[in-house]
Amino acid sequence: MSKCYVTAIITPKAGQEEALKKATLDNIPLVRKEPGCLRYDLHALAEGGKFLFYEIWADKAALDVHAASAHMARYHEKTDHLLAGPLEIRIWSALDTR
């Protein structure tokens, strides 16, 4: 099984940046405890207005378990109304990761 690399861009509604950031930061420790979570890093766009997750999962199965987890369902319930649009999620394959 090969590692699974993910980027997820999150765009908050205007004025909801801090609320979204707080809810997201509160959820991170739960995700990092998941089996198969190798990396789960949150970044903010330097100009503001967007957040980016960079994730590495042991395999696609671990990512699928993450997506279906109860804490992610609760996170989406808490934050969906704070978003300007859908998450932009991309799953990547490694070519050279030295």
The residue ranges of every structural domain in the chain are 4-92
Q: pTM to 2 decimals?
A: 0.92
pLDDT tens per residue, range 77-93: 999 999 999 999 999 99
Distance separating alpha carbons of residues 63 and 33, to the nearest angstrom = 13
> With respect to CATH, is domain 4-92 assigned 1.10.10.10?
no
pLDDT in tens, 17-64: 999 999 999 999 999 999 999 999 999 998 878 999 999 999 999 999
Check residue 1 and give its pLDDT.
66
